A and B are shown apart, each in its own frame.
Chain A
Amino acid sequence: MSKNVTQLHRRQFLKTSLSASAVFAAPMIIPSSALGLDGAVPPSERVVVGGIGIGNRGTYDLGCFLEQKDVQFVAVCDIKEKQRIAIKKRADDHNKNENCATYRDFRELLDRKDIDAVLIATGPNWHCTAAMQAAKAGKDMYCEKPCTKNIAQSVILKDTIRRTGRVFQAGTQRRNLPHFAFACELARTGKLGKLKKVFAHPAGMQAMMSGWLIPETEPNAEVVDWNLYLGPAAWRPFNAKLLDGFNFEKGGGLVGGGVLEWGSHCVDLCQWAVNDVPAPIEYDPPKNGQLVARYADGVELIFRETGWIPLGSCPVRFEGETGWVETGDSGKLVLSSPTLLAGRTVAEIAEYPATFHVRDFLDCVKSRSQPKGNAEAACNAHIACHAANIALHLGRQVKLDPKTNEFINDEQANRLRSEALREPWRL
């Protein structure tokens, strides 16, 4: 390791302080106190929330929502009876009542006028379609990632969020973690010199598809509603193994894998580092464990499996002409030079739950500002992942027009930009 490398261990960081807030751009919010949040929250300031598809990740997200004093969680929808019961119990225990309503069909939940926002934590198959339905129903939404299954969905989702005026927060919570924010800030503000390369870790650079498995006896819809579980995905018979929403039909059932699963986090951070410009315009096929994409200004976005400093999962690295920074989920930062701190100490929180990302969302629900994981930013990152997956899938270079998000003179790649939804679903 370079002698000039400075490592900042989490324990070495100061606790969150005024100085930390000086480093990171603060979310554009009204102070909570101004909204009456420093004590009891008046009903007019509460955000009434419903949950859609609350499994493992969703349960964690839900905990983050319930921690917020101004959240009133009133309803859960899940295609699994077991989850409906479990989440209702959790909400009712928290709310000290028995009022959390349960739904099998999320459209009934969206019909409720009293619900302001929804937490969408279904499997990836549903994310975009449910988010579109929520936006059209006038709900703001916190939507887990990957948010879209293909490029066309990404474009339509961000257009719809803009058109409907809704607040959208992707579950890209690392945008609200100080060490990632700091690293991106260094890259974005020229502290590393002219930016040359940004690196993302796809954690499994392979396109995947979920399958048509051996048919099993379909459960009673009240127990598991298979039809609603499939939702926009092309039909296939019930098989309990497909109920693992995590792997089911992400990336349109044709492409996905680590490039999308982890890319929606680490590519998202790379996008932030390059100032959330449109996705790269060229994507080479993978070579020696690396897939290189290029932005319009020549900066390279490199998906690479190995060569990382051991800084935990979801590592990113940004290299400029005069310096570099690397960080990951460990919360540690490695810098080419301590001078990159510009005399500042990076404050770090002891743990990094997504609570702050949720808070960012809730504040924006009230202020109508754009949260860190807004639709425009998230969808651009997703487009980069989808395009990389298409290059991976086709085994050759593809070129993307950043204005139209279509591949240039490449019908084969363009045919992979979108995929029909099963009836009756549409975007």
Chain B
Amino acid sequence: MNTELFSIVDVPIITDDVIQKVKSVNVGAITVFIGTVRELTNGKKTLSLEYQAYESMAVKKLAKIGEEIIEKWPNTKVAITHRVGKLNISDVAVVIAVSSPHREAAYEANAFAIERIKQIVPIWKKEYWEDGTKWIGDQLEKQSFESK
């Protein structure tokens, strides 16, 4: 198991490994977000997904999210692992674990982390459908770049 708090991996994520990174004797609450591959988006069936990252920058930006969280919610600890490569339906794409002495900060910080990932971390998702593929252009999924 890698011990880095913020990492990009190309193998299946073991959720418990991410949880172990934020455990300590002072912790009273751990929240875990698990992002998985969804089959239907607006009625359209996804067969599989491919995630690509600018890995070195992505790790830096995940660490920056960690710094932002410590500033907003002192005494929390954050670990984030994001997977890249080809993923199938229900595969785990991202795991965020936040620990805190009390539950409120752990919940709030975890929700903040996934929103920030969708804003500043250079990772892209390509959808594979029965009738084609598309790089998804933003997290509102309103903008896209059809492959030619």
**Binding partners A and B:** no
Interface residue ranges, A against B (CB under 8 Å): none
